[in-house]
Amino acid sequence: MGDAWERGRRVLAGAGLPPDALARVRTLTGGTYNTVEELLLTDGSRYVLKIPPAPAAPGLRYERRLLVAEAAFCAGAAEAGVPAPHAVSVGEDALPPHLLMTACPGSPWTEVAPAGAERAELRRELGRQVARLHRVTGPGHGYPSGALGPLAPDWPTAFTAMTDAVLADARDHGAPLPRPADEVAAVIRGAAAALDEVTVPVLVHFDLWPGNILVERPAAGQARIGGLIDGERMFWGDPLADFVSLALLGDIREDEAFLAGYREAGGHVAFDAAARVRLALYRAYLYLIMITETIPRAAGEDHVRWVMDTVAPELTAALGDIEELC
């Protein structure tokens, strides 16, 4: 606790907040990459501190400078008027490197487990919020962190770089892909024409699974979305890409409440042939990440077994859909 306490005080001071107001430091679980801590101040305000692994720690190519990407997400969410953390300070060159953010109210969707009418209304609200996020545009396509190089002038170039990077990671780490990496690359490249329809780079969170959606249940009134968190994997690209994690290992077309809210807030979505190809491409990309990251993160046996039993078949299915549709 001593190291965490001193680190918290140092970060608060660097952000212009009173270090002597630190009342508690609590490690938060659920993340799989950064160290995450909650800093509670004596006035009751809460902050979230993220600390990346050491530069020499194994990881995937796109994971460099993730805190820069999360700060960009926070700024975009603020522009959109969507509940999300506010970046207080980004210390890339500080000791330790860190991102300090405000904490959002609520508990993860996975813990709250809303059901019935409450779940439908929350999914509808979530759809409206994601549609507002998708109105925020960026200066180019790809990861704002620069982890894979400068932003690209077009989406096909950016997405090709993204998939090439994760396939290079898969080769480097010997990831157990269900099809050879070169074969996967050929399938993805064969569908590149479908990406030409994307001309405006919008804010894509790309990790909106239920664990990153906070639900707040106030003492009076109905439940609401308290915050969209962990935006460190955001990129500028195709809004359809967000629909993959929003229906993780499922089909967003079955989420009628979410789609209704998304359209209410001005989001446009049509599941025509080209859109289905792009969705399959983004499914393949996410599942490639999920399989490959188990190696550098030294995932436990149970998680690896789940990934191979559950995620690997979904990658195979996504590649099959691309081949069938193209």
Task: Indicate the SS3 state at residue 214.
Answer: strand
- pLDDT of the residue at 35: 85
- pLDDT of the residue at 301: 93
The answer to whether residues 133 and 205 touch, using CB atoms and an 8 Å cutoff, is yes
Task: Indicate the SS3 state at residue 57.
Answer: coil
- pLDDT of the residue at 53: 86
Q: Give Cα 131 distance to the centre of its chain.
A: 16
Residues 6+ apart with CB under 8 A from 9: 19, 20, 22
**d(C-alpha 312, C-alpha 326), whole Å:** 21
Per-residue pLDDT of the chain (326 residues; tens, 9 = 90+): 568 898 899 999 999 999 999 999 998 876 667 889 999 999 999 999 999 888 888 899 999 989 999 999 999 999 999 999 999 998 877 677 899 999 999 999 999 999 999 999 999 999 999 999 999 999 999 999 999 999 999 999 999 999 999 999 999 999 999 999 999 999 999 999 999 999 999 999 999 999 999 999 987 778 999 999 999 999 999 999 999 999 999 999 999 999 999 999 999 999 999 999 999 999 999 999 999 999 999 889 999 999 999 999 999 999 999 999 98
- pLDDT of the residue at 206: 98
- pLDDT of the residue at 275: 96
At 225-277, the pLDDT tens digits run: 999 999 999 999 999 999 999 999 999 999 999 999 999 999 999 999 999 99
**d(C-alpha 159, C-alpha 177), whole Å:** 20
Strand positions, DSSP E, the chain:
22-27, 35-41, 46-51, 87-91, 98-102, 107-108, 202-204, 213-216, 224-228, 235-237
Predicted model pTM: 0.95
At 39-67, the pLDDT tens digits run: 999 999 999 999 988 888 889 999 998 99
DSSP state, residue 140: S
Residues 6+ apart with CB under 8 A from 226: 83, 104, 105, 106, 214, 215, 216
Per-position DSSP letters for 77-138, written without gaps between them: HHHHT-----EEEEESSSSS-EEEEEPPSSEEHHHH---HHHHHHHHHHHHHHHHHHTT-B-
